[in-house]
């Protein structure tokens, strides 16, 4: 074919028409390539950033440097809820003219900024609403020599956190694919800010855990120690490298409760939280009470990855609580059990002997000649006598027997296992000999008291409850004191008292 035969271009056809595609298509491709390069540059720079303000400013600067826009601004509500730039690159004068509140109550000043904030969807200048606020916005953009604008929401935790304002001098609309890239990049910014906030929170938490007064332990799912803070070392004496090597079992010892350890082990095997108090051992062998709270940590797939333990030395609190509990159940003067503890012990003892088909003896004691000593020598002397009597009662009984002080000069003894009243005689005579012996007062004076006792026995006194046991013993004691001058022994059995009354009545 000769050159004369070659097809000639029509005078009215452009270069793009001869290629078979419009110039807008090529422009769209270039714009998308530009936006992709912008997104890549942002990802490379923003992710390692250390501060939120730095992230926001670099975002705007890179947006302008990459040619995506001639103005990039991030707007957030400031005083009086007016949107103000928190980061900006490009002509500041345009942004300074903005006076807009996202509040729906101020509808005449909304324009595209207010609508985007309220509705959470992007706005592009190719949209041509007839509302006066939108017309004014486009006119304001044009007065600044800017021909196209876009407003995109930046979300954090699913809520609008800021607006991204983009404006450029060239008159060209963003194609739908470009709009998708713009919006996804705005979302990238929100994600980066959230990740940064989490990192900063983790740093703060890490600093807090290191400086915490309570001990902190982090283990993996197999309970291997990964980290302990300084408070742990101060509490236990074990340094981090030592406890990571030996494990937390080194805190256990012969007095650590096996039942509590089993409960802890079961909870951890099930991946559950556990809280309790353990008697643990420091590096020097000294024991301490350890309040332990352990929580499991799971990843996004709900897989158990770690355990976090908060430990606190509560030895002082434990001692105080123990002291309070002891004082609530013991007589402060003599150290014997008080009425509250006696009632509980009576319930247990009666149930025990009924179950074992054994016997229970309740002895109610009153001291003769105590009041004259108290009146003559004073309350301190009286307290001394009560302390001596309490000690002698305790020394004259078996370790399994129980002694309590009801108050004043009244005491109660619980004896188990003596089958008949005759079996008790030797014990009662021993008590008489001990208690009636002279007592030397702190002032050097010597005094003496004697015993009166009422005795109730199960099962001789029939089916009884705790109240009847003490009441029957009290009735027998009353008779013992009433017949103090004529009695042969200092005790009276309730069932013998009943028999004597029946015999006298007969």
Question: How far is the C-alpha of 84 from the C-alpha of 110, rounded, in Å?
Answer: 14
Measured CA angle at 310 (ends 307, 312), to 5 deg: 150
What is the side-by-side order of every strand in the sheet holding 410-416? 402-407, 410-416, 360-368, 450-458, 491-493
353 contact partners, CB below 8 Å, separation of at least 6: 359, 360, 416, 458
3-state secondary structure 331-389: CCCCCCECHHHHHHHHHHHHHHHHHHCCCEEEEEEEEECHHHHHHHHCHHHHHHHHHHH
DSSP 446-489: EE--EEEEEEEEETTT-S--HHHHHHHHHHHHHHHHHTTTT-SS
Q: Which of 409, 423, 461, 474 is catalytic?
A: 409
Q: What is the 3-state secondary structure (H, E, C) of 62-74?
A: HHHHCCCCCEEEE
CA-CA distances (angstroms) from residue 129 to 117, 122, 125, 134, 164? 17, 14, 10, 6, 20
Angle 114-120-123 from CA coordinates, rounded to 5° = 65
Pick the closest to residue 478 from 377, 389, 364, 324 (CA basis): 364
Non-local (6+) Cβ contacts of 197 within 8 A are 52
Q: In the chain, how many H helices and how many E strands?
A: 17, 17
Question: Which H or E run contains 41?
Answer: helix 23-46
**Is 409 a known active-site residue?**
yes
Angle CA(264)–CA(266)–CA(267) in degrees, nearest 5?
Answer: 65
Residue entry with tokens 């188990």: 416
- 279 within 8 A of 289, measured Cβ to Cβ: yes
Q: Enumerate residues 6+ apart whose C-beta is below 8 A from 196.
A: 49, 50, 51, 52, 55
Q: What is the C-alpha to C-alpha distance for residues 91 and 473, in angstroms, rounded to an integer?
A: 102
Report d(CA 70, CA 91) in Å as an integer. 8
Whole-number Å distance between alpha carbons of 35 and 154: 17
Q: Torsions phi, psi of 132, nearest 5?
A: -60, -35
Contact 70, 64 (CB under 8 A): yes
Q: Where are the beta strands (DSSP E) in 157-214?
A: 159-168
Positions marked active-site: 409
């Amino acid at each position: 074919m000769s050159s004369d035969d070659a097809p000639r271009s029509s005078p009215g056809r452009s270069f793009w028409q001869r290629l078979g595609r419009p110039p807008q298509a090529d422009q769209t491709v270039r714009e998308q390539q530009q936006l992709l390069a912008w997104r890549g540059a942002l990802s490379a720079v923003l992710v390692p950033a250390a501060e939120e303000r730095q992230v926001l400013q670099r975002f705007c600067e890179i947006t302008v440097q990459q040619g995506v826009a001639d103005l990039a601004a991030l707007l957030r509500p400031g005083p009086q809820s007016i949107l103000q730039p928190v980061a900006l690159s490009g002509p500041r004068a345009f942004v300074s003219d903005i006076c807009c509140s996202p509040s729906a109550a101020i509808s005449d000043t909304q324009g595209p900024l207010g609508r985007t904030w309220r509705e959470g969807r992007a706005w592009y200048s190719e949209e041509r609403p007839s509302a006066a606020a939108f017309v004014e916005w486009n006119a304001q953009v044009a007065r600044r020599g800017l021909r196209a604008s876009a407003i995109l929401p930046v979300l954090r935790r699913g809520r609008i956190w800021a607006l991204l304002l983009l404006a450029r001098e060239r008159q060209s609309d963003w194609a739908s694919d470009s709009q998708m890239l713009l919006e996804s990049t705005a979302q990238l910014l929100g994600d980066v800010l959230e990740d940064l906030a989490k990192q900063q929170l983790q740093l703060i938490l890490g600093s807090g855990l290191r400086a915490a007064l309570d001990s902190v332990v982090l283990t993996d799912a197999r309970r291997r120690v990964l980290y302990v803070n300084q408070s742990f070392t101060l509490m236990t004496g074990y340094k981090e490298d030592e406890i990571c090597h030996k494990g937390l079992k080194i805190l256990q010892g012969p007095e650590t409760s096996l039942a509590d350890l089993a409960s802890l082990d079961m909870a951890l095997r099930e991946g559950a939280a556990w809280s309790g108090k353990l008697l643990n051992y420091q590096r020097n062998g000294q024991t301490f009470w350890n309040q332990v709270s352990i929580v499991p940590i799971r990843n996004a797939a709900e897989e158990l990855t770690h355990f976090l333990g908060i430990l606190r030395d509560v030895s002082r609190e434990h001692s105080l609580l123990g002291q309070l509990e002891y004082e609530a159940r013991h007589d402060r003067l003599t150290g014997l059990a008080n009425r509250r503890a006696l009632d509980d012990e009576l319930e247990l003892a009666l149930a025990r002997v009924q179950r074992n088909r054994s016997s229970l003896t309740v002895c109610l004691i009153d001291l003769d000649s105590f009041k004259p000593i108290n009146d003559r020598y004073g309350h301190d002397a009286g307290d001394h006598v009560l302390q001596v009597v309490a000690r002698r009662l305790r020394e004259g009984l078996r370790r399994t027997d129980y002694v309590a002080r009801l108050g004043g000069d009244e005491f109660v003894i619980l004896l188990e296992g003596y089958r008949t009243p005759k079996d008790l005689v030797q014990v009662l005579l021993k008590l008489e000999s001990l208690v009636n012996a002279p007592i030397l007062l702190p002032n050097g004076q010597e005094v003496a008291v004697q015993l009166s006792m009422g005795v109730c026995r199960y099962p001789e006194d029939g089916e009884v409850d705790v109240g009847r046991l003490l009441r029957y013993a009290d009735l027998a004691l009353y008779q013992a004191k009433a017949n103090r001058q004529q009695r042969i022994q200092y005790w009276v059995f309730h069932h013998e008292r009943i028999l004597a009354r029946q015999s006298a009545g007969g």
